[in-house]
Structure 1
């Protein structure tokens, strides 16, 4: 399970790839659950061989507070082929999406979606391919299906995780410690930005930056 966790933390992964990874992980877990008896037998044999006590650790059940806007149970994707979903189910989900984002998508989103589905079924193999077909290759079609194009852009630009942001906050603890308690906000922000964007910082020519800094200071002295 470590590989899906690492892939979900990648900056380049999109929602579709993340969904596929989570679906594979779910299938693996379900497979292990179906083979629980055989796994228990294997574990028991290993415990007998190594003289290990065969008892499960009983942990205290944690009670999690349920907020008013939290779902009562996990919502799973039963059908991985979303474009091939039944028309009624697809309309319900499209109407739900338009109500959730009324500023970005109009109420005619479901009608546009059905039109795209019936007209460009061959181009609906992948979300990226469909977006490239509607927005890049046939830019004139974007005016006919504005809500679908907006939906595609939202899907492709929404980040899967906030790992990079969390790492950015952890950098602050490394930069401003008790030995650097007198550091001002401007210098702290500059050092944090350099540490967070370290890949770009390595490419910058430091000698060129120093020369520009010196020229600016000399110009101030002249004036």
Structure 2
């Protein structure tokens, strides 16, 4: 497990968001209690107070985000101001899983793609051709597969763009909520207009590949009517194209909208950070904050592009203490755990086959040198070497004495 802290660097006219790597933790007990205990012990050893936490973020594992026994709940029991947000990127991945699992054809599409990608990595044309012949067994015709590919390409591309934005170090909760709302709006527009465009694009590809650009017509099974059934009642029948749109395209897009709204509901509740339920432990006074914000509206100022600019302006004025605290909390709340994921990528380089027996302290030290290399470049090496030499000289003199 890795620990990353997010904080603000403040000066008179300088505000930046920083995320720093503190080290790797060796975990034996992966339950919520086990992870909480080792995290709490590490924070105490680093001199970090739990009461100073204003946000916490993890991946979407049950042992981390559990409402009753998870790590986030145990920290909230100690400090209710440590507002928890699930990782935005993990939530987007789960949204895509929800979409793919919504209908059988969605599962079959990725069931076909996955082995094709695996054999593609081996650069084996015969294996690719063998996998391609199994397309008929996936309950998707050639043209249906092309339409599905066009739709999923656009969906994955859009989600990937938002995911990359959320991974930015300077991304904060207010902007993240805006990006998610834009994504939900995109899917609502996509639901109404995209299918016809996907059909046109898929037909162009089908013609180039020599594939009939038509949806297969399934055999209609006539059902005998019951004696009390009216002869005028008719079942709704779709054309093959409309059937694909209603039972596949609309299914996955509607699931995307529903899943996004559900999974990012926690993001939209960040006003709990400033709620009065914390009573005497609250960082701010709600009435005073309201008064400050109303006064701030009356000031003749330029429009601000983001909360960082607002915080800079508030610091210069120096008479909006509650609003300044509120914005500092907003900027330090985690949106994703991308920094932690990147540290695991570094771990693969540091802990190679030749270094498989190194101690935990050395592993964290080497990882910190690699991850926080900007700080390393600012260190005076000559001074560091002199201090090391002095310590060794003292040790040698004691041995001689």
- Please confirm whether the aligned pair reaches a TM-score higher than 0.5, indicating the same fold: yes
User: Kindly tell me: are residues 26 and 14 of structure 1, through their superposed partners in 2, closer, same or farther at Cα, counting changes over 3 Å?
Assistant: same
User: Kindly tell me: are residues 19 and 74 of structure 1, through their superposed partners in 2, closer, same or farther at Cα, counting changes over 3 Å?
Assistant: closer
Mapped to 1, the partners of 2:195 and 2:353 lie a distance apart of 54
Indicate yes or no: 2:197 matched with 1:36.
no
Indicate yes or no: 2:312 matched with 1:137.
no
Mapped to 2, the partners of 1:139 and 1:151 lie a distance apart of 14
Q: Which has the higher contact order (CA 8 A, sep 6+)?
A: 2
Match runs of 1:7-18 below 5 Å:
7-18=165-176
Bigger radius of gyration: 2
Indicate yes or no: 2:332 matched with 1:152.
no
Report how far residue 122 of structure 1 moved.
4.2
User: Kindly tell me: are residues 38 and 169 of structure 1, through their superposed partners in 2, closer, same or farther at Cα, counting changes over 3 Å?
Assistant: same
Encode CA deviations 1:30-68: one digit per residue, 9 max, x unaligned: 332221232233134124312347677x8xx9xxxxxxx
208, 216, 223: which one aligns with 2:391? 216
Indicate yes or no: 2:275 matched with 1:98.
yes
Match runs of 1:157-168 below 5 Å:
157-168=332-343
Encode CA deviations 1:52-102: one digit per residue, 9 max, x unaligned: 47677x8xx9xxxxxxxxx96754999xxxxxxxxxxxxx99678415655
Unmatched 5+ stretches in structure 1: 62-70, 79-91
Unmatched 5+ stretches in structure 2: 1-157, 216-243, 253-260
Mapped to 2, the partners of 1:93 and 1:164 lie a distance apart of 21
Indicate yes or no: 2:295 matched with 1:119.
yes
* Alignment partner, residue 197 of structure 1: 372
Mapped to 1, the partners of 2:316 and 2:331 lie a distance apart of 17
Report how far residue 221 of structure 1 moved.
2.2
Report how far residue 178 of structure 1 moved.
4.3
The alignment covers a number of residue pairs equal to 191
Mapped to 1, the partners of 2:184 and 2:193 lie a distance apart of 14
User: Kindly tell me: are residues 101 and 192 of structure 1, through their superposed partners in 2, closer, same or farther at Cα, counting changes over 3 Å?
Assistant: farther
* Alignment partner, residue 6 of structure 1: 164
TM-score under structure 2 normalisation?
A: 0.39
User: Kindly tell me: are residues 100 and 199 of structure 1, through their superposed partners in 2, closer, same or farther at Cα, counting changes over 3 Å?
Assistant: farther
